Amino acid sequence: MITSAKRVFLSAVALTLCNPVCADTLVSTQDEFRQAISTATPGDTIIMADGEWNDFEMLFSGVGSSDEPITLTAQNKGSVIITGQSNLRLVGEYLVVSGLVFKDGYSPTNTVVSFRAASGRLASHSRVTELVIDHFNNPERFETDFWVMMYGQHNRFDHNFLAGKSNAGVTMAVRLDSENSRENYHQIDHNYFGPRPILGSNGGETLRIGTSQYSLTDSFTLIEYNYFDRRDGEVEIISSKSGSNTFRGNVFFESRGTLTLRHGNDNLIEDNVFLGNGVDHTGGIRVINKRQTVRNNYLSNLKGHRFGGALVVMNGVPNSPINRYHQVEDSVIANNTIIESDHIELAAGADSERSAPPIRTTFQNNLIINAEVKDSIAVHGDISGITFSDNITSGILVFPSNQGFEARTLSLVEGSNGLLYPGAALADIGVSKSLSVLDRKDTGPSWYPKPGYEEAFDRGDVSTVVGGNDTLSDVVANSLPGDVIELEPGEYIVSKFLAIAHPLTIRGVTDGETRPIIKFERSTLFELKDGGSLKLEGITIDGSMAPDTYNNSVIRTSRYSMLNNYELYIDDVQVRNLNVNHSFHFLKVAMHTMAENIEIRNSDFQDITGHILALNRETDDLGIYNAEYVTIQNSSFINIEGSLATIYRGGTDESTFGPHFRLENSTLDNVGNGSRNSSQASVSLLGVQSTFISDNQFTNSAPIRVIHTVGEPVTTLSENVFSNTMAPIIREFQRPVL
Amino acid sequence: MITSAKRVFLSAVALTLCNPVCADTLVSTQDEFRQAISTATPGDTIIMADGEWNDFEMLFSGVGSSDEPITLTAQNKGSVIITGQSNLRLVGEYLVVSGLVFKDGYSPTNTVVSFRAASGRLASHSRVTELVIDHFNNPERFETDFWVMMYGQHNRFDHNFLAGKSNAGVTMAVRLDSENSRENYHQIDHNYFGPRPILGSNGGETLRIGTSQYSLTDSFTLIEYNYFDRRDGEVEIISSKSGSNTFRGNVFFESRGTLTLRHGNDNLIEDNVFLGNGVDHTGGIRVINKRQTVRNNYLSNLKGHRFGGALVVMNGVPNSPINRYHQVEDSVIANNTIIESDHIELAAGADSERSAPPIRTTFQNNLIINAEVKDSIAVHGDISGITFSDNITSGILVFPSNQGFEARTLSLVEGSNGLLYPGAALADIGVSKSLSVLDRKDTGPSWYPKPGYEEAFDRGDVSTVVGGNDTLSDVVANSLPGDVIELEPGEYIVSKFLAIAHPLTIRGVTDGETRPIIKFERSTLFELKDGGSLKLEGITIDGSMAPDTYNNSVIRTSRYSMLNNYELYIDDVQVRNLNVNHSFHFLKVAMHTMAENIEIRNSDFQDITGHILALNRETDDLGIYNAEYVTIQNSSFINIEGSLATIYRGGTDESTFGPHFRLENSTLDNVGNGSRNSSQASVSLLGVQSTFISDNQFTNSAPIRVIHTVGEPVTTLSENVFSNTMAPIIREFQRPVL
């Protein structure tokens, strides 16, 4: 149990007290900083001068006292900017850091803020508050590092802003790997965890408490009143891997993934609010292990399924190794409200290995409501070890148990806290009316703005270009994010790469039958730089002037790692003559790039020696992939030697929701038959999690090949017509032996 | 036939004449340049001011006259430096450019110097002289571009310096794709073509005259008195793809590859000197097509074989398509001297497709000499269509024909031109005594220094480091090329990447049994940056502190394209505990990086979850690969889940000599059995051209797997002992269907 008596935190008041002997020292250089740190005594404050501190590895070492900590702060909070190759380490006791901003750089070591200096040299009774880490990313997407590593005991991390981590690695972790980091009583509260984009791999968690190795140890970490805003990294938003943690009063807003009790026992999840707003793969709480309590949580409009559902109770592995799935035992799931959520999963993951069902577990006083009747509770195995009682439902088709559920028809009204409650009074069912909902503005430092919502495309200026030699180059180079470039009908000859560094629309103006036609002389027409996204509408692209070398493309990503996921929209585009040499692709991507969304509509492609969408660069089988959503509709493809799409997601982990692939109402004629098309498929999908191929006409083409790897991929093929085309091949993965 | 009357070149004298009305205009800015160009009249000279001109796309458009060209030159030759994203286009007539230096940049288009402005806007009767293009490379190794493109007619390119092209693309090409670029009578003379490194792919030629499409057209290009110095790009140094060209008086010094008459007829190769100096894959002349004349060439110490031999006469394809091999007909090979060269190949490439033998061809008055007897003439098919007469040999074991060869025992003496001649007088056999040998100093601009020969390693300072936390980082960061860092015995903890940006030696100082041990906390210990090479001696490397993520490594290349080939030498190194997570490799490389040489000797490796040498990033089957020479000797490998080496060279072209692999006197115990080792091999070689595996002990290991793709790979396995290890699997390539 958690005893509040053990929690001794530095209060905000301590920051403002100073007895007569303590000193405020303003430092302006790295040497002055080091000098001030080395001579600081309890009660002292080191004040960093406003401005930019570049390439600064800050070591804050000292011993303060409970009444008189040593404080490191900014001359003006938010005006001390740490940039370049920089980081911060704390070692000692009773240290306080506040007011610093890390941006425009990344750590040269594996951590930005670490509560230790080196192995064995830890910080305890220390606090980091009102700190900002904003897109402080290693430029290599799959160079793993961490923003905050908590070691030691009795530390507090509060009112901080952490947003935009885009490279691999947990945003924040509590480490228990040494004796004096366990039973740590850390407090993590009132932080703003801002948007984290889809990583497209394992390693995108927001917060991890412990590791499997020490997961049977108590951590006693309190995680309360934090705001998780669009944290989409991977399937786990929080991964609790230790015992006796409390997750209380947090808000999860439009965040893909779940709060997962992955390892460790005796954890408490209460008073949290999950607002999915219908966003794909938004999830709630996943329960594994012993003596877990999940109560008074509000889960609304969550669309996740399987391990990412609104509420998931897993099956375990009998006598599980420390790093697999322990059986759910003696757990309580009570007084939760689940509204308009698609999937509650019981005995989830049951298979030959995970054969130990939940036991001695209660599921009671929960409220489950859908506006329209649907089948949102799934049972995957034996749930006789779960006792259901006093649950009330509305709009649920099938109950997991004959008893413990009462169906009603309930309407919802908004409570004073903004949450929805049944119009009818239901005593002690669902969340309490007094549940307090954390306001986003009460998290993070008050002085640092939180990100809004902005459209990527079509929000800037519109400029018009006429045909000729290189008339496009300068306009593209001088464009701003969201701009639109309109092309008059005519021929455009492009002798240089067009670098797309931000969202940009290129739109043809058609004059009767005449359209703008773009020809290009380099190995690609468009190169998407990190941050770039592209929308093409109403143009014709002709590859006949491309160089007589293999491996050309119309669009390619940066050849380097891209931290930003990109979007690509193709509508009413004709693509011709990509055939001056072999392997001429429409879209070619590099390793460690990620398309968040690719859509092709109302377009036609003809005479192409490569692939249309070559999304297969991650062949290391590490669970990484190159595109989250790919949609092709109402388009035609004729004489394509490569595949219409080749998407590769290898690896055996279950950390991602994608890739997703959708092909509808399109025609393929002689697609995929080229001798260099190694998959020998018109559509080649490996490890894709969601496939929908419907209402298409395949003629004289190579077959569709779908290889399932891990997870429970959903593959739907319907209403396709195959003429002189082998039937689709769908099979489970087997390693090819070369 | 070539008629000298048609050659009307601008003479050097024209540069110095000026009638009263012509003007010299000094320009200092890009605008002044454009203004001066636009108003220039015949006889005018535009003088670019000394200094650096950055990001300058120069368009030199004008019409001079035969007597009064328009001249663009430097205030002081060699002092006008064009940098950044720059290039030069000439369009018009009677233009002369001289004295400019292109370096520290690359062209934003596909060409640095182009004898046209755009399609159809060509330059003729123009001259580029004393120009320097020095390592002016696109940073992307496989972004194809060209340094010089000659279009038009009657142009001259002379006394230029072109060295260090390291990205893909022919260094210089003569284009015949429009009517007024054919029968061009261009002259390419006295140029210095300096070192071009091994590209590891097709696209590394130095000079190409035409393309297959127009190869039956006469080009009448004269290529004389050029110096080809260490031009190692790929199998073709010069690729002649048009008719009636003359190659005369050129020197090929230690250059891998051959002068190839790839397409087109009626070419003349005479008075050229090939000095291989025993360097691997140095070659001579390859003959294909009709009415070729190869006479009075001196070929010495050339080690190339097959298509890269000293003298190669190919078989053709009956009724060959324009881009395959035309039959050799009516050709003459006469009065050549071939000394100490390993391979003369007749009817080379004979196979089921190339079944048309040479016909009506004479091979006469040639001199072939080896100091010790060897079998250096190979016959691959029917050579009854070659008439042999009056050839004299010394030290040749087997003759291709019963007649036309006379064996003697000849000694050699140096002639006044520095070449070797038989001591005995032989009338009209071999090259003429009066053959003039081009001196390197007579090529290129006199004012620009030519590259020498320098050792990469161990030529700098020696510094000593003691153990501790990050004691290595600063020393490595501050090192200079060729430095040596000596490590005292002790433990070294490294928390940051050690970036190796130049050749560097790290050498352990052992104290009895105690050695320096390096542990590291990031995903790799050493990262080779472009230009970096590494030698490790006498140290122990332990991976136990590496991050708990997959895909770590001890050494990796830059994740980006590297223009410079690197070298890696490992001697007396112990590697331990690369097993904190899966896929922990010793060496991991990125796409578009190239090891020129990797050698591991006297070292031992134990407990590793990945590969030792993962040289398999070029999976696009485009003929690209990651290492030229890999040698492992006297080393031991225990418990390696991945492969000892996995080398991949896909594709179907025959443009490269490598990769080469050698494994000797080593022991492998439990190597290659990891479930993630996709090749399921202890040694996995695909498309390796030369394999030698001898005197090794394999125990409890996965098999050796060798897959031959194209070429005539040589695979030798001998004296290996296999205990509880499947026998080696050697087979021809078949595409795996997924």
Q: Does a cis peptide bond (omega within 30 degrees of 0) precede residue A659?
A: yes
At B734 the pLDDT is 64
> Which chain B residue shows the shortest CA-CA distance from A619?
B619
What is the pLDDT at residue A20? 53
Q: Please indicate whether, in this complex, the C-beta atoms of A521 and B736 are within 8 angstroms of each other.
A: no
- Residue B733: the pLDDT is 76
Q: Would you tell me which residues 562-601 of chain B have a C-beta closer than 8 angstroms to some C-beta of chain A?
A: 583, 591-592
- What separation in angstroms does the CA of A491 have from each of A249, A485, A487, A513, A514? 60, 15, 10, 14, 10
- pLDDT, residue B12, reads 40
Q: Are residues B661 and B690 in the same domain?
A: yes
Q: Which of A560, A583, A705 sits opposite B560 (nearest CB)?
A: A560
Q: Is A374 part of a structural domain of the chain?
A: no
Domain count, chain A: 2
Question: Do residues B458 and B598 both lie within one domain?
Answer: yes
At residue A735, the pLDDT reads 55
Cα distance from B109 to chain A (closest Cα, Å)? 5
Among B696, B585, B681, which residue's Cα sits nearest to residue B633?
B696
Subunit contact A678:B621, Cβ cutoff 8 A: yes
> Is residue A599 in a domain?
yes
Does A284 score more than 90 pLDDT? Answer: yes
- The CA-based diameter of chain B, rounded to the nearest angstrom, is 91
User: In this predicted structure, which of A491-500, B5-14, B144-153, B705-714 has the lowest mean pLDDT?
Assistant: B5-14
Over residues B349-366, mean pLDDT:
96
Q: Which domain holds residue A689?
A: 611-620+640-733
| Residues A466-491, mean pLDDT to the nearest whole number | 95
Q: Which of B235, B238, B167 is nearest to B208 (CA)?
A: B238
CB contact under 8 A, B143 and A523: yes
3-state secondary structure of A209: strand
Segment B539-592, tens digit of pLDDT: 999 999 999 899 999 999 999 899 999 999 999 999 999 999 999 999 999 999
Instruction: Compute the average pLDDT of residues A699-708.
Output: 96
Instruction: Indicate the SS3 state at residue A567.
Output: strand
| Residue A61 touches chain B, beta carbons under 8 Å | no
Nearest-Cα distance to chain B for A358, in Å, is 30
Structural tokens at position B489: 């015995």
Intra-chain end-to-end CA distance of chain A, in Å: 56
Q: State the pLDDT at residue A12.
A: 40
Label the pairing between strands B420-422 and B412-414: antiparallel
- A511 part of a folded domain: yes
| Average of per-residue pLDDT across B487-493 | 95
Q: Minimal CA–CA distance to B369: which of B427, B432, B309, B301?
A: B301
Q: Do B109 and A496 touch (CB under 8 A)?
A: yes
In a 13 Å sphere around the CA of B111, the CA atoms on its Cβ side amount to 22
Question: Do residue A689 and residue A548 come from a single domain?
Answer: no
pLDDT confidence tier of residue B4, bands split at 50, 70 and 90: very low
Strand partners of residue A407: A393
* Overall average pLDDT of the A394-421 stretch: 93
Specify the DSSP element, H or E, that contains B463: strand B462-465
If asked whether residues B577 and B685 sit together in one domain, one would say no
Q: Domain end: A576, A604, A632, which one? A: A604
Write down the pLDDT at residue B251.
98
- Are the beta carbons of A227 and A192 closer than 8 angstroms? yes
Decide if B686 and A738 are in contact by the 8 Å CB cutoff: yes
In this structure, are residues A517 and A491 in contact, taking their beta carbons and an 8 Å threshold?
A: yes
Whether A592 and A655 map to the same domain: the answer is no
Q: Are residues B678 and B652 in the same domain?
A: yes
- What average pLDDT does the segment A359-374 reach? 95
Whole-angstrom CA distances from A259 to B41, B303, B569 are 78, 66, 48
Chain A: give the shortest CA distance to residue B672, in Å.
Answer: 13
B732 Cβ under 8 Å from any chain A Cβ: no
Question: Chain B, 662-681: which have a CB under 8 Å from a chain A CB?
Answer: 676, 678-680
Q: Are both B615 and B597 inside the same structural domain? A: no
Q: Is residue A591 part of a domain?
A: yes
Average model confidence (pLDDT) for chain B? 94
Say whether residue A619 is in contact with chain B using an 8 A CB cutoff. yes
Give pLDDT tens digits for A565-602.
999 999 999 999 999 999 999 999 999 999 999 999 99
Task: Tell me how close the Cα of A20 comes to any Cα of chain B, in angstroms.
Answer: 39
How far is it between the farthest Cα atoms of chain A? 91
For A608-625, what is each residue's pLDDT tens digit? 999 999 999 998 889 999
Residue A438: which pLDDT band, with cuts at 50, 70 and 90? Answer: very high
Contact B99, B122 (CB under 8 A): no
The minimal CB distance from B110 to the residues A547, A559, A560 is found for A547
C-alpha distance from B84 to closest chain A C-alpha (Å): 15
pLDDT at B2: 38
The answer to whether residue A423 neighbours chain B at the CB level (below 8 Å) is no
| Cα A92 from Cα B517, distance rounded (Å) | 29
B559 contacts chain A (CB < 8 A) = yes
Compute the distance between CA of residue B352 and CA of residue B494 in angstroms, rounded to an integer.
58
Q: How confident is the model at residue A119 (pLDDT cuts 50, 70, 90)?
A: confident
Q: What is the least distance, in Å, from the CA of B11 to any CA of chain A?
A: 34
Residue B560's closest chain A neighbor by CA? A560
Binning chain B into helix, strand and coil, the percentages to the nearest 5 are: 5, 45, 50
pLDDT band at A21 (very low <50, low <70, confident <90, very high): low
- For residue A630, tell me if it sits in a domain: no
Indicate if A516 and A596 belong to the same structural domain: yes
- In B, minimum Cα distance to A652 occurs at B676
Residue B275 belongs to some domain of the structure: no
A701, containing H or E segment: none
Last residue of some domain: B604, B632, B661? B604
pLDDT in tens, B61-113: 999 999 999 999 999 999 999 999 999 999 999 999 999 999 999 999 999 99
CA gap A376, A276 in Å, rounded: 15
Q: Which two tokens stand for residue A248?
A: 């209380």
How far is residue A675's CA from residue A609's CA, in Å, rounded to a whole number? 10
Minimal C-alpha gap between A560 and chain B (Å): 6
* B508/B547 same-domain check: yes
**A505 and A549 housed in the same domain:** yes
Instruction: Count CB neighbours of A69 within 10 A.
Output: 26
Residue B569 lies in a domain: yes
Environment class of residue B375 by beta-carbon count within 10 Å: exposed (0-12), middle (13-18) or buried (19+)? exposed
Q: List the single residue in A168, A561, A680 with the smallest CB-CB distance to B737.
A: A680
Residue A584, C-beta contacts closer than 8 angstroms, at least 6 positions apart: A543, A546, A550, A551, A552, A553, A578, A608, A609, A610
CA distance A476 to A102: 32
Instruction: Identify whether the C-beta of residue A9 lies closer than 8 Å to the C-beta of residue A154.
Output: yes
Cβ distance of B548 and A678 shorter than 8 Å:
no
Q: What is the pLDDT of residue B207?
A: 97
Q: Average pLDDT in the B475-499 region?
A: 96
Do B555 and B677 lie in one domain? The reply is: no
Neighbours of B735 (CB within 10 A): 12
Residue A89: count other Cβ atoms within 10 Å of its Cβ: 21
> Is B110 at the interface with chain A, CB within 8 A?
yes
Q: Which residues, in sequence order, are bridge partners of residue A46?
A: A25, A72
Question: Three-state SS for A12?
Answer: helix
Average pLDDT over residues B16-35: 81
Interface of B with A in 177-216 (CB under 8 A): 203, 211
A140 touches chain B (CB under 8 A): yes
DSSP string, B167-214: SSS-SEEE---SGGGSS---EEES-EE--B---SSS---SEEES-GGG
pLDDT digits (tens, 9 = 90+) for B273-305: 999 999 999 999 999 999 999 999 999 999 999
Q: How confident is the model at residue A513 (pLDDT cuts 50, 70, 90)?
A: confident
Identify which of A522, A559, A686 has the shortest CB distance to residue B561.
A559
- Report residue B8's pLDDT band, with 50, 70 and 90 as the boundaries: very low
Task: Please answer whether residues B538 and B508 qualify as being in contact, where contact means their C-beta atoms are separated by less than 8 angstroms.
Answer: yes
A553: contact with B, CB 8 A cutoff: no
In a domain, A528, yes or no: yes
Predicted confidence at residue B510, as pLDDT, reads: 81
B168 touches chain A (CB under 8 A): yes
How many angstroms separate the CA of residue B181 from the nearest CA in chain A?
Answer: 18
Closest CA to B637 of B599, B611, B668, B602: B668
Choose one of A604, A629, A659: the last residue of a domain.
Answer: A604
User: How many Cα neighbours within 13 Å face the side chain of B459?
Assistant: 9
CA distance A114 to A538: 52
Tens of pLDDT along A63-113?
Answer: 999 999 999 999 999 999 999 999 999 999 999 999 999 999 999 999 999
Cα–Cα nearest to B599, from B554, B686, B536: B536
B620, B643, B647: best to mutate for the A interface, most A CBs within 10 A: B620
CB of A609 within 8 A of CB of A579? yes
Question: Six-digit token pair at A599?
Answer: 């859509």
Contacts of B153 (CB under 8 A, 6+ apart): B124, B125, B180, B181, B183, B184, B185, B186
- CA-CA distances (angstroms) from residue B428 to A578, B336, B393, B421? 55, 10, 14, 12
Q: Are residues B616 and B572 in the same domain?
A: no
Residues 6+ apart with CB under 8 A from A730: A704, A705, A706, A707, A708, A715, A717
Q: How far apart are CA B80 and CA B78, in angstroms?
A: 6
Distance from CA of B586 to the nearest CA of A (A): 16
